[in-house]
Amino acid sequence: MENHKVFFEDKGLVPYKECWDYQLGQFHEMTDRKKWNKLNPELEKATESRLIFCSHPHVYTLGKSGKEQNLLLTESELKFHGAEFYHINRGGDITYHGPGQIVGYPIFDLDFFFHDIHKFIDKLEDAIIATLSEYGIEAGRGPKGFTGVWIDWENPEKARKICAVGMHTSRWVTMHGFALNVNTNLDYYKHIIPCGIDDKAVTSIQAELGKQIDEQEVKDLLKSKIALELNIQEFA
> Which residues form the catalytic set?
195
In the 8-state DSSP scheme, what is residue 115? S
SS3 content of the chain, % helix, strand, coil (to 5): 35, 30, 35
Question: Which among 131, 102, 90 is positioned nearest to 226, based on CA atoms?
Answer: 131
CA distances 32 to 83, 119, 171, 199, Å, are 34, 24, 10, 42
- The amino acid present at 15, given as its one-letter code, is P
CA distances from 136 to 139, 164, 236 (A): 9, 20, 31
